[in-house]
Amino acid sequence: MSIRKVKLEAGKGVLSIMSRNGDDNVVWTHGDSGSTAMAERVVKEHLRAGSAVFAVYAAAGAPVAPGVRERVGEVERTERRITSFDPRANEIVIVPRMQGG
């Protein structure tokens, strides 16, 4: 199994979808209607399927939201569970519903 990290550029967000292979990533550009709409569709599909979805906000200008605040180096980070896509997030983590077998 390989683990890969997506390095984000300013003005971009990433969906990290947990899977059997580690995680799958979808990157969107803040303000770009095409990539934002695609990321929103993915989040909606996973919410309908019962996945847990969390938004991560980091750096200056991050929206104030209830959740866990911690300092990572000099960057303040806020994480919270969401029930709809938030294009302002730096990262959205999707944890699919566990299935028994």
DSSP string, the chain: -----PPPPTTEEEEEEEETTEEEEEEEETT-HHHHHHHHHHHHHHHHTT-EEEEEEESTTPPP-SSEEEEETTEEEEEEE-SS--TT-SEEEEEPPP---
As a whole-number percent, the residues of the chain with pLDDT over 90 amount to 43
CB 94 within 8 A of CB 49: no
Kindly indicate the confidence band of residue 43, based on its pLDDT and cuts at 50, 70 and 90: very high
Is the pLDDT assigned to residue 97 strictly greater than 90? no
Angstrom distances, CA of residue 98 to CA of 7, 49, 80: 28, 11, 20
pTM of the model: 0.75
Q: Residue ranges of the domains in the chain?
A: 12-95
CA distance 8 to 22: 18
Is the pLDDT assigned to residue 65 strictly greater than 80? no
